[in-house]
Amino acid sequence: MRRIALCLFLLLPLLQAQTPAQTQPEVERLENLIEQLTAMKTQVAALESRIDTILRGLSEQKGSLQTKPAAYNALRNIEPESGPDTKPAAVRCAALTASGKRCTRAAADSSKYCKQHQLAHSK
């Protein structure tokens, strides 16, 4: 709007210097330019509104993706390392505890009992 006023201010002395026959087509041209500029201004406002709406939507989607927990099977999708496993499979101790439950410790190498129960069974 300021540009339009500035253009009119600068063109006003030129219009006054011209003869009345020459000013009529110039006035019509300026009125057409003003109409075109106001139409463009409303289009720009509509585009700005659409851009703001799209940006809000994208921001909400980004926020929901950042707070979303990892999928349950996410660890299963990771490929295992290639090559043989260097750790031998752990064997559970075969002894029973005083309460009658099976010992939860791993058995010692080349034995079916953990170190604690090996001592108990050796006595």
pTM beyond 0.85, yes or no: no
Give me the DSSP letters along 26-77: HHHHHHHHHHHHHHHHHHHHHHHHHHHHHHHHHHHHHHHHHHSPPPTTTTTT
The pLDDT of residue 12 is above 70: no
Sign of CA dihedral 53, 55, 56, 60: positive
Q: Locate 46 and state its tokens.
A: 């509509």
The domain segmentation of the chain, as residue ranges, is 23-66, 91-123
Q: pLDDT tens across 71-117, in order?
A: 555 555 555 556 566 666 678 888 888 888 888 888 888 888 888 88
pLDDT given for residue 110 in this prediction:
81
